[in-house]
Amino acid sequence: KNEVEQSPQNLTAQEGEFITINCSYSVGISALHWLQQHPGGGIVSLFMLSSGKKKHGRLIATINIQEKHSSLHITASHPRDSAVYICALSLGSARQLTFGSGTQLTVLP
Amino acid sequence: DAGITQSPRHKVTETGTPVTLRCHQTENHRYMYWYRQDPGHGLRLIHYSYGVKDTDKGEVSDGYSVSRSKTEDFLLTLESATSSQTSVYFCAISVYNSPLHFGNGTRLTVT
């Protein structure tokens, strides 16, 4: 069963482009997380959302609870944004997570 | 920032040997998790803990055990390592209404 689906799986962009990564889910959630993982690196939490929109620098995350959909946008993309972006759902009282398979983003100079 | 440290960072071991990975946190958080990350599977929950001596299984718990005798330490043990347990292991802590915090990972190779 796939409770969370990310798209696209791979994305290549030119520096400066506006990027959108999508996350759709099929279950009730308490929160949705966007995570970033650089090659060979650790995992960093970018956003935790339960409604609406959040912005941090060039990154914007939105969530539509009714449509069970979230997007991560990167404005003015840069090669250092190249990473895997992972959507994760918070479910249940133990705050266990269900993870998407990730989107591999490559930004070319 | 939540202090979370995993050790060792890298480990090579032989099939059949026991291995223990350690996750240490400095923030006194209640919830701690062990995940493994494999190509094509993403992150999968092995075990989690919701307090001292309180642990439960995740989706891929076979072959693993955990212990939490102190709030700050969550240990993951492979009683008899197999090649299928070659993976990158991440520890994470969860704070209510706050983002997750992950350790830097342990790369385990079972030969």
Q: Is the model's pLDDT at B1 over the cut of 60?
A: no
Range in B4-13, B76-85, B97-106 with the lowest mean pLDDT:
B97-106
CA dihedral A15, A16, A17, A21 (to 10 degrees): 80
Q: A47-73: buried (b, 16+ CB within 10 Å) or exposed (e) per residue?
A: bbbeeeeeeeeebbbbbeeeebebbbb
Closest CA–CA distance from residue B82 to any residue of chain A (Å): 23
Q: How many CB atoms are closer than 10 A to CB B87?
A: 21
Interface of B with A in 72-111 (CB under 8 A): 90, 92, 94, 96-105
pLDDT digits (tens, 9 = 90+) for A54-81: 999 999 999 999 999 999 999 999 999 9
The pLDDT value recorded for residue A104 is 95
- Mean pLDDT on B68-79: 96
Tell me if A97 and B100 make a contact (CB, 8 A cut-off). yes
Task: Please tell me the distance from the alpha carbon of residue B1 to that of residue A88, in angstroms, as a whole number.
Answer: 21
What residue ranges of chain A have pLDDT lower than 70?
1, 92-95
Mean pLDDT of chain B: 92
Pseudo-torsion of CA A10, A36, B37, B70, nearest 10°?
-170
DSSP A28: -
Kindly state the DSSP code that residue B98 receives in the 8-state scheme. S
Task: Please report residues of A whose CB lies closer than 8 A to that of B104.
Answer: 41-42
